[in-house]
A and B are shown apart, each in its own frame.
Chain A
Amino acid sequence: MNSYSTFGTALHRLAILCYVLFALFPLFWLLKVSVTPNDLLYSEGVRMWPSRMSFEHFRFVLAHSAFPVFFRNSMIVAGATAVIVTLLASLSGYALSRFTFRGKYWLVALMLLTQMFPLVMLVAPIFKMLSPLGLTNSLTGLVVVYTAFNIPFATFLMQSFFDGIPKELEEAAKIDGATQFMAFRQIVLPLTLPGIAATLGFVFTAAWSELLFALMLISGNSAATFPVGLLTFVSKFSVDFGQMMAAGVLALIPACLFFLFIQRYLVQGLTAGAVKG
């Protein structure tokens, strides 16, 4: 029995290890290519690590390409979208979780409906609507579009987190002397931090890596976001893999930092001990 369970654990760990290796391999390759000098890129064949490392691609990308602009644009768009969506989704998710109101069922159905269409179908009408408003080729336009598309899912996500917080906590606060809003701010919100972190992270990554709308609504480099910018490394006759990968590695940094910052909240089981499980 015991040896069987040891064997099972080993198998379990091995499976997880295989999965992690499989999932991380593209990232490893990204890093490997980004530090491979151009002259070795095609001459060394398939090797796990180049015989000589160089940071020339990084230097080029930072000093001689429009990458810093793309990066800044992406930061603005993804950051603004994440904050706005999380703020709105917290409020709407709380409302869906706690209040009963007329038309709630239809509102939820409508929000689900918006998630059913392939985005490609909506590119043309969105362009047609944003164009007269002067929101094409602008970061504001992208923020508006991303916010609109992310809110339904983020709302459901936040609602599920609010559903997980016992109603009695708010009731206890209200009896202790809090108003509905104070109970929300002082009791519910601190307990929803993991949810807020998850939503922020989810929306930030979605907006950070969005290509379709960015490609369709933005022309020219000044308002291009990072995924669109990556395409500038593809020229008519060649693809500059080294620089593209270096740009990719740099683009990973904010996402990694962001998750490093919020992972404390993501894993925290704050509600443990609130009510008897």
Chain B
Amino acid sequence: MASIDIRNVRKNFGIVSVLHGVDLSIENGEFVVLVGPSGCGKSTLLRMIAGLEEVTEGEIRIDGMRVNERAPKDRDIAMVFQSYALYPHMNVAENMSYGLRIRKAAREKITAAVSNAARKLELQPLLARRPKALSGGQRQRVAMGRAIVRQPKAFLFDEPLSNLDARLREQMRAEIKKLHRDLGATSIYVTHDQIEAMTLADRIVAMHEGVVQQVGSPLELYDRPANLFVAGFIGSPAMNFLSACYEIGAGTAGARLPDGTLIALSSAYQLEQGASVTLGIRPEHVEMSPASESSLRATVDLIEPTGFGIILHLGLHGLPFNVFTLDRAALTAGPTVTVAFPPQHLHLFDETGMRALETSLQKGKG
């Protein structure tokens, strides 16, 4: 097990810069998920830690040792690929033991390690099979088995579940989590799926266009997204955004929408009076309410029952707006509904898209 330090790491492919200075410290035994849309540089960062891509600038340390110039084989890490990358001419046992055989481990040690991993992953009946005779989920398990037999310093996962169907993905997600609980190994996991990120991670690193946007626990990212990107990326259905103007009065703060509606805020922010802001609210936090002064009327475009709840696709001032509710009455909603925003669930972002800093409300003049 090991800690991994990434200091001001940059990566250029020719004149194209894909990582613009990433800093990240990963603790011993931690499960860190790199999440972001395609092309955000998360896989490149992982491949640089593995030694499959050169580091253009900066430094990567594993257990305090600089590894920039080390070949992948000398870094003592294991990686699970999206495509599994099983050796097709070897059977399951040979696939799993390849790393140990190449390191000239003792035969008894290899047999013990393989059967131990096979038992953990329920692969014993498949040890003599070739990869082509396995199902997608079984191949995925073999790929994980190959990683764990070596007992490496760290595990790297590059979108390992992307090729599986939804059901199997859920099952394997739980297995990976269990495996991490049992082995306690430092793990870095790359995915574009925010549900995987939320469910697996001790800490999430949200990335966008080669820059780390926010690092924090899953709930930190969900409750207090640092900017518009994280707010929009974490959570499904995605957060709703409305343009507004910030208004501060005596003992009150609010955001005025273009139609004149004033939405009350629970605290004041370090913003100028009249500053343009973006108001964010998650679909599950919107309340369907009877009409009132601060409620908004929206047209219903589409109703999507998910079984567990209902997603309403609304039009608010002509802009798309989603609401998630557990109330089945929403299924029979008319052409328009009224919605209200509880102040404690509102997120406010300044003109640059960063989360606005809160201050306490001044009680005063009237």
Contact = CB atoms under 8 A, between A and B. Distances in A.
B50 A175 contact: yes
B85 interface: yes
A274 B146 contact: no
B12 to A, nearest CB: 15
B88 A273 contact: yes
Interface in B69-102: 71-73, 77-79, 81, 83-89, 98-99, 102
Interface string A163-190: 0001011011111111100100011001
A176 B115 CA distance: 18
A274 B73 contact: no
Nearest to A171: B52
Given A168-B85, A276-B83, A176 B98 contact: yes
B232 interface: no
Contacts of B86: 172, 273-275
A177 B86 CA distance: 15
B85 A172 contact: yes
* Interface residues on chain A, size class: 20 to 34
B133 interface: yes
B52 A274 contact: no
B177 interface: no
Contact of B81 (A171, A186, A187): A171
A276 B50 contact: no
Contacts, number: 87
A173 B98 contact: yes
* Interface residues on chain B, size class: 20 to 34
A271 interface: yes
Given A273-B139, A276-B163, A175 B73 contact: yes
B136 interface: yes
A270 interface: yes
Contacts of B99: 176-177
Interface string B14-54: 00000000000000000000000000000000000011100
A191 interface: yes
Interface in A166-221: 166, 168-169, 171-179, 182, 186-187, 190-191
B7 interface: no
B328 interface: no
B81 A191 contact: no
Interface in B126-149: 130-134, 136, 139, 146
A160 B92 CA distance: 28
Contacts of A48: none
Given A273-B133, A273-B134, A191 B73 contact: no
A172 B139 CA distance: 14
Interface of B: 50-52, 71-73, 77-79, 81, 83-89, 98-99, 102-103, 130-134, 136, 139, 146, 150, 163
Given A172-B79, A175-B73, A274-B132, 5 more contacts: A175-B72, A270-B89, A273-B139, A274-B87, A276-B84
21 contacts: A168-B83, A171-B52, A172-B146, A173-B87, A173-B98, A174-B73, A177-B73, A177-B99, A177-B103, A178-B73, A190-B89, A191-B88, A273-B88, A273-B139, A274-B86, A274-B131, A275-B83, A275-B85, A276-B83, A276-B84, A276-B139
